[in-house]
Amino acid sequence: MMAEIQCQGCGATIQTTDPEQPGYAPASALEREDIICKRCFRLKHYNEVQDVPYQDDDFLEMLNQISHTKGLVVQIVDIFDFNGSFISGMKRLTGNNPVILVGNKMDVLPKSVNPGKVKLWLKRSAKEHGLEVEDVYLISAEKNQGIEELSRAIDRYRNGKDVYVVGTTNVGKSTFINTLISNTSGVKDAITTSYFPGTTLGFIDIPLDEQSSLFDTPGVIHRHQMAHYVSDKDLKIITPRKEVKPKVYQLNEQQTLYFGGLARLDFEAGDRTSFVCYFSNELNIHRTKLEKADELYDQHLGELLFPPDKETISQLPPLKRQELKIRENKTDIVFSGLGWVTVPEGGISVTVHVPEGVKVSLRDSLI
Ligand code: GDP
């Protein structure tokens, strides 16, 4: 039997038989020195996210190993998609180990956002999911912002023990670890090109000192992440790459905003008010009358209302409606994985429509 080889990218055991399963690599790849699976290969060379049919449970079981050890857990979330990227059940998975929560991709937040409020919101949201965190840090893994401070905190909290970096796919976990390694050793893209061995648990082991390591764990896939419902092309459109520029719409009641054709907000009742929209600058927002909104969707989805493109339409769950009463002034309506709308004045009712499974939530405004 072939000795087990782990993918240098994600830690999955390499196999050459089933392209649909994790760790698949063509036989020819085995001759190379640093073997990575096809999925990591594509991610590295084409920046494409390829889904593997891991059951969420398999991943969670792997993470659950952490509860049997002692160490610091660093959970990374995407600030733009907390609900899609927070791993629920973290408390159970990681036992009594301390957890630091890291909000990544702060570079795309508008400058008007108050970082203190973002931290508070992340901390509260984690608590609502049953997780008390030691501290919250905001970083941009890509722009190398906040990494020094976080890395000092990690050293402080780990107390000489191991560090486990966890996160759902696409939160920027690999980018973060690469930046961390590059800051300390000067080696670029260490994770994907990699020097570090996978472990039997599917974790990648990066030595910190003689006694302890930083482990990169496999990215948990969340089915309700918007990213899983849209084509690669659409994902590029809806994912903010630059600082988000707010777009303001003054609406009367009975008016509707479409965010591409992926989400919709109906202003049902209330005084004329402004809706401040924070989405990827590339995402097209369309205003219409509520009475015309259904017809517009039926006739112009994928054209005037885009994304979705054809590929996304074929896999997008139907939009589901949810009524919301906005009571407080300065409330954000958060469309998980897409963005949010700030409503300055409370006392209005809106209806939101999002693909089934995508979460909409309210929070105190971050501005
Ligand atoms: P992983 O699946 O968690 O390992 O995520 P990756 O490191 O592969 O990153 C996922 C996507 O997020 C990639 O397209 C990255 O370019 C992007 N990304 C990662 N870090 C940042 C960041 O700090 N800011 C922004 N804007 N994008 C980021």
pLDDT number for residue 39: 73
* Cβ count near 74 (within 10 Å): 26
**H-helix or E-strand spanning residue 94:** helix 90-94
Residue range(s) occupied by CATH 3.40.50.300 in the chain: 54-222
CA 22 – CA 338 distance, rounded (Å): 28
User: Would you state the pLDDT for residue 194?
Assistant: 47
pLDDT in tens, 180-208: 988 887 777 776 644 555 554 567 788 88
CATH architecture of 54-222: 3-Layer(aba) Sandwich (3.40)
Look-up: residue for tokens 């980018």?
175
Contact (CB, 8 A) for 131 and 94 = no
Provide ipTM, 2 decimals: 0.99
What is the best residue among 76, 170, 236 to mutate for testing ligand 1's pocket, by most ligand atoms within 8 Å of CB?
A: 170
In the reported structure, the alpha carbon of residue 76 is separated from the centroid of ligand 1 by a whole-number distance in angstroms of 11
Sign of CA dihedral 248, 353, 107, 286: negative
Sign of the CA dihedral 93, 18, 49, 33? positive
**If you count them, how many residues does the chain have?**
367
- Tell me how far the alpha carbon of residue 26 lies from the centroid of ligand 1, in angstroms: 26
pLDDT at 202: 66
- Separation between Cα atoms, residue 120 and residue 138, nearest integer Å: 11
Nearest CA owner, ligand 1 atom 17: 172
Q: Say how far apart CA 316 and CA 284 lie, in whole Å.
A: 18
User: What token pair was written down for 66?
Assistant: 């952490």
Note the pLDDT of residue 38: 78
Cβ atoms of 317 and 356 within 8 Å: the answer is yes
pLDDT number for residue 164: 94
Residue 61 burial (CB count, 10 A): 12
8 A C-beta contact, residue 56 and residue 40? no
Nearest to 162 by CA among 242, 66, 79: 66
Give the H or E element holding residue 236.
Answer: helix 232-238
Which residues of the chain fall short of a pLDDT of 50?
Answer: 1, 49, 51-53, 193-194, 200
Q: By alpha-carbon position, which residue is closest to atom 6 of ligand 1?
A: 172
75 CB less than 6 Å from ligand 1?
A: no
Cβ of 140 closer than 6 Å to ligand 1, yes or no, is: yes
pLDDT of residue 7: 79
| Per-residue confidence (pLDDT) for residue 2, from 0 to 100 | 57
Tokens 């017809």, residue?
295
Q: How far apart are alpha carbons 59 and 52 in whole angstroms?
A: 12
pLDDT of residue 101: 98
Kindly write down the DSSP assignment for every residue of 139-177, as one continuous string.
-BTTTTBSHHHHHHHHHHHHTTSEEEEE-BTTSSHHHHH
Over residues 54-88, the pLDDT tens digits come to 556 777 777 888 888 999 999 999 999 898 889 88
Going by C-alpha positions, the residue among 231, 166, 235, 178 that lies closest to residue 206 is 178
**CA-based end-to-end distance of the chain:** 59
